[in-house]
Structure 1
Amino acid sequence: MSTDTHTSAHPAALPLEEQIILVTGGARGLGAAISRAFLAAGAKVAINYRSSAQAAEDLVALYPDTAVAIQADVRDQDQLKAMAAQAKDRFGRPVTTLVNNALVDFSFNGDARSTAEAISAAELSAQFAGSVLAPVAAIQAVLPGMREAGFGRIINIGTNLFQHPVVPYHDYTATKAALLSLTRTFADDLGPEGINVNMVSGGLLRTTDASAATPEAVFDLIAAGTPLRRVTSPGELADAVLFFASPLSRGVTGQNLIVDGGLVKG
């Protein structure tokens, strides 16, 4: 006989209204869509930004009681720790859900990308710092608070490009593939502590700051190849992020959910 009764020391789930969310790169593009979705659902949200102070403050102005803007470069571990502490000070409880969304200095411009013969160690290292080392450091910054709460949700933002490299962005794609591997290994390591770790992977989104350089012809080509015949919006991907933070996903960890209108299967 099945039962939903939870008998361990860890709560199986927390309603979004009781959660403290930290969204890295949460002031612009996809990050802003994720921040807005959590705020609309009643969660308290720490909106991280590096240089987009005005955009972050504009979001906070819409939700002054439940949002706070916090400046930090996600590549700096000390700044990440300070940000986690600031979020706890602001809301009185530690961060319960971390969304690793920040994308450091990258533009989806296929014409300007480095090709196979030209991609450099410096480009790979720069993306590794922003898309692998930074998410790991962010997780480590919020872990003490999640352990204090006996509950945690970590949601990494990935990409469908390593399954379907419609445009071969070598540095971006390689680092997101590494982040998927870490999603699965961290899920195994942290699961016994009541911390679920998952990834949400979009395709090209219409439209974010990062995809603004993408020609309309590319958007149209991708749309034509999807069962839904359209390009996914930031809001649609944000909905999937909320699912992984909500009680509805309490039994799910180590997974990668692709949200791209059906372009990539599994």
Structure 2
Amino acid sequence: MAIYAIGDVQGCFDDLLRLLDKIDFNKKSDQLWFVGDLVNRGPKSLETLRFIKSLGKSAICVLGNHDLHLLAVAYKHSPIRAKDTLTPILDAKDKNELLDWLRHQPLFHYNDDFCLLHAGLPPQWDFATAKKMAAKVEQALRGDKYTTFFKHMHGNKPVLWSNKLTGYAQLRFIVNCFTRMRFCDQNGHLDFKYSGKLGDQPEHLMPWFDLPNRKNAQLKIIFGHWSALGYHHSNNTYAIDTGCLWGGELTALKLGTKMQRISIACKGYQVPNK
């Protein structure tokens, strides 16, 4: 069985189909690992959700910030934004089925060799802690009080991990790590102000995967979320959001002892910083 990790699709359904043709994807023998942000900003979020859901066990999806935003909008705890392209999902006859399926997707997936997440991990978390923290949010998403969770999900604080964090503050920090983080200071304080290219950030900031004494440094982590970073491999991490939405590429990374990157050029549906 071949496993391909796929970068942020964000509703660029036609590009996804072209990429799957290029890798000669076989639903019966291959598996796709999606790094999250299946939806939003691109033109065919509804078609993307329906298709990936239809793949069953041939597709593994972790949740990204845009996926959680869709859920928060659908359950009336976040407003539609100007650039959102979520209305076709919200108006679809199968909306409830699609949202329920999305709500039951994980934040963190792994096998014996690789870990999959959307954004990053704080330096204080080892593998066991990452699993435990992801499970807390997954339980909140799948539990009876999931609509209340979305009411408290958004916010930039707290910015530093502590074992003393509890309740919605703890859940919010977990969500922000798995779905939003890019840069931190050397002590692991999350920064949400800068999201640009590596090397142009303020001097006190560094990408999460370069932090010293990172307890998850031995893990091979595949992530997306950071289109300005592009394809990047360092410190056992593989960044594969190559900016399909913005006119970059959509990337598939074939996992194995010899990693193989396959990408297609995309025309783009949004203009950066506009």
Interval of TM-score (by shorter of Structure 1 and Structure 2): 0.3 to 0.5
- With normalisation by structure 1, the TM-score equals 0.34
- With normalisation by structure 2, the TM-score equals 0.34
